[in-house]
Each structure stands twice: as structure tokens, then as C-alpha cells.
Amino acid sequence: MTGPAATGPDGTGMGSTGTGSTGSTGSTGTAGTAGTAGTGPMLEVRDLHVQIASRRGLVRAVDGVSFEVVKGDALGIVGESGSGKSMTLRAILGVLPPEARVTSGQVLLDGQDLVPLRQTDLNRIRGPRMSMIFQEPMSALNPVMRVGPQIAEGPLIHLGIGRAKAAERALDLMRRVGIPDPERRYRAYPHEFSGGMRQRVMIAIALACEPEIILCDEPTTALDVTIQDQILRLLAGLCRETGVSLVFVTHDLPVVAQVCQQVAVMYGGQLVESGPVHEVLHDPRHPYTLGLVRSAPDFDNVRESLVPIPGSPPSLVSPPEGCRFHPRCKFAEEDCLVTVPPLKLLPGGRATACLHHERCIEALEAERAAP
């Protein structure tokens, strides 16, 4: 793990912002991913803020999020519903809904900031350099276009190859993602495919122009467990074989452990913990991550029953002062009510935005020592 990019002189500050007059934002240091596969960050998100105009007021959907993804690595982003995962991905790719906008921050793809780019410039990046796989492939596929030409379209436009070569490429991709009998299925329509096969088509489209990074927003949530497992293996395998980087948003912690090397945990529009996936999920350093792990099957080797996190996620129109997790945190102290915790660097390329993260260690030790 490369770790956060900006570290204060005391090793604790990570370029945190928003601790001033607005009190609106928390930690914004760059939680990086391990340099396990490549050389430098392929993608750097720096202090990203996304606001959405709504009838309830201004929703601060993404509030000072920073992370980086190294070439060839997979970063999982986890967090409860409404924590800002999808808006983060959409802001990176420049496909926010019309009522949402990036108010500040940078999205650096190989050093180039995408935030100021116009849609026409972004169109040259989407596909050949960066692509996205959505949760529901049916909504992303063109229902009246045969799937083969949909896969061939990107290479035809972006790679400057002729129709025949693009079709050949589409067939090859269909084979690679495990679509049986691709010659026949090339001319089928999306509705003739099962959910799992449609998601394979989406993956083929995402891979078609050999992007450097693929953003995946819950790509397997709509699928049954067996198909889900096949798709995850496929994605993890492609990541290894092709060196493509992944950002993988999911609610599902075992899925993150299966596919990703690194994980970033979001709460209330902010990043609260990050680091190597095994360490973070098995030895959390943020009470919210601890709660997520306790409430997820397959991750709690301490207790036999699942323990839901009490309370509900914060309003992103008027979030709590201080640490946004304080109304739900059993370790909260007085300072948590007024101080926005900066993302603090920990050994092993980890980071946490908790003022009392050592309480997690104590709690885990006490549970493990219990008969």
C-alpha cells in the first residue's frame, strides 16, 4: 500500500480540510492502494466534493473523499446504502445526474485532471481509458441493438479499426468473458440473454477498448449467488491477466475480500478507513468498520451471531457536527461531538478517521480473549 499521499509533520494529518468554519467535511487525505501490481497510481481522487440539489436542500453526497488506485490493483469501496459510493464513481467518470455536480476536488487519471474536462473530451476517455460496469446491465445496454455490435462499437469508434476487425474483436471478447456459442449469440438482443450473460456482455463492453481502469458499481448484486461467483472470478482473473485496475463498489464484504487487494470504507459521504483488505476487514481500526464487519456474515470469527449497527445513516443535508458516526458509536467521547477526525496514517499502509481508534484494538482483544 502506498498509503496516503499527504502526511502532516506529526504523521497524523493527511491534508484534512473542512475542519474550519463550515465544519462540513472530514478527512481528505489520500488513502492509497498497495503497490502490489504496478508502479504508480493509475487513478488519484483528491478531496472530491459532490453536491446534489434536492427539495430537502443541498445533499453533500461526497464530502472530501481521497484515494488512489495503483496500476493493476483492485480497490473495493464499501459502506451502507447512501454513503456516497455510486456518486463517487459517477463523479470519476463524469456521469453524474443533472442535479449533481463536483464542487471541488480532482480526479487524476495518470496525472490528468478529468474534473475540468468537457463532455466531448471525456467521451475520448470513457471506453479507451476508463469504463464502468453498472449493477443492472439491462439499463446500460441498448435494448434494440444486437449485443455483438454493441461490443464492437467502442473499438470501431475509439481504436480506429474497421468493421470486420471490430466484429472479430467482439467475438473474441465474448469468448473471453465466457459467453457460449458467440458466433450465434453475436446477433442476439439483450433480452434474449439471462442476467448473468447480460453482465458478461457489459464486462465485454467495458473491456473492449482495453481501458486502464474499470469502475464497477455493484456489478453482481442483481445476480444469484452461483452466477455472482462466476462473474467475480471472471473479473478477478481479467484483472490479473490484463493488468487493468478496478474500483469495485459493493455492500458485500466477502466479495471485496475475494476480488480486491485494498479497501476504502465510506460513511456519510466521507472515507473513514482504508488499507489492505485483509487487515482492514479482520482487524478494523474504525468503529464503523468494526460494526460493518460484525453485521456481515463470514467476517466475524469472534461472535456467532450478527450484530447490526444501531441507529441509521446520517443526513447528508445536515450531517452531525464533529465525527459523523458519533450518534451511533459506542466509543464516542466528548471530543467526538465537536472535532472532525482527520484521516490518520497507521503502520502497514492503513488509515483511519477515528479519534479513538485504539478502542477498536481493545474491543477486539477483549472479544478474542473471552471464553
Ligand X SMILES: Nc1ncnc2c1ncn2[C@@H]1O[C@H](COP(=O)(O)OP(=O)(O)OP(=O)(O)O)[C@@H](O)[C@H]1O
Contact 348, 274 (CB under 8 A): no
Strand-pair category, 112-113 with 130-133: unpaired
What does the alpha-carbon distance between residue 367 and residue 371 come to, in Å, rounded to a whole number?
Answer: 9
State phi, psi for 45 to the nearest 5 degrees.
-105, 125
- Comparing CB distances to ligand X, the nearer of 302 and 317 is 317
Which CB, 182 or 319, lies closer to ligand X? 319
Binds 96: which of Mg ion, ligand X, ligand SF4, none (CB < 5-8 Å by kind): none
- For Mg ion, the closer of residues 86 and 261 by Cβ is 86
> Which CB atom, from 299 or from 325, has the smaller least distance to ligand SF4?
325
Least distance between ligand X and beta carbon 159 (Å): 32
Cα distance between residue 368 and residue 9, in whole Å: 35
User: Is residue 329 a contact residue for ligand SF4 (CB under 6 A)?
Assistant: yes
C-alpha grid cell, residue 370: 473471552
Residue placing its CB nearer to ligand X in the complex, 99 or 121:
99
Query: Least distance in Å: CB of 127 to ligand SF4?
Result: 40
What is the 3-class SS of 220-235, one letter each residue?
A: CCCCCHHHHHHHHHHH
Phi, psi of 74 (to 5 degrees): -120, 125
Residue 109: which of ligand SF4, Mg ion, ligand X, none does it interact with, CB under 5 to 8 A by kind? none
Rounded CA-CA distance 318/334 in Å is 20
Instruction: Give dist(CA 26, CA 34) in Å, integer.
Output: 23
Q: Which of 84, 244, 325, 343 forms a contact with ligand SF4 (CB under 6 A)?
A: 325
Q: Which is nearer to ligand X, 97 or 160 (CB)?
A: 97
Site string for Mg ion, 78-117 (x = CB under 5 A): --------x-------------------------------
Residue 336 is classified by DSSP as G
The answer to whether 292 contacts ligand SF4 (rule: CB under 6 A) is no
Residue 331 interaction partner, one of ligand SF4, Mg ion, ligand X, none, beta carbon < 5-8 Å per kind: ligand SF4
Return the one option of ligand X, Mg ion, ligand SF4, none that residue 32 interacts with (CB less than 5 to 8 A, by type): none
Sequential DSSP letters for 265-328:
EEETTEEEEEEEHHHHHHS-SSHHHHHHHHTSTTS-SS-SS--PPSS-PPPSSSPPSSSTTGGG
Interface characters, 337-356, with ligand SF4 (x: CB under 6 A)? ----x------------xxx
Q: Please state, in angstroms and rounded to a whole number, the distance separating the CA atoms of residues 347 and 4.
A: 11
Which one of Mg ion, ligand X, ligand SF4, none interacts with residue 87, CB within 5 to 8 A by kind?
ligand X
Among 332, 340, 343, 351, interactor with ligand SF4 by CB under 6 A: 332
Beta bridge partners of 31: 67
Query: What does each C-alpha distance from 370 to 316, 358, 363 come to in angstroms?
Result: 38, 19, 11
The residues that touch ligand X, with contacts defined as CB under 6 A, are: 52, 54, 59, 61, 79, 81-87, 97, 99, 251, 316
> How many residues make contact with ligand SF4 (CB under 6 A)?
12
Residues interacting with ligand SF4, by CB under 6 A?
A: 287, 323, 325-326, 329, 331-332, 336, 341, 354-356
Residues interacting with Mg ion, by CB under 5 A?
A: 86
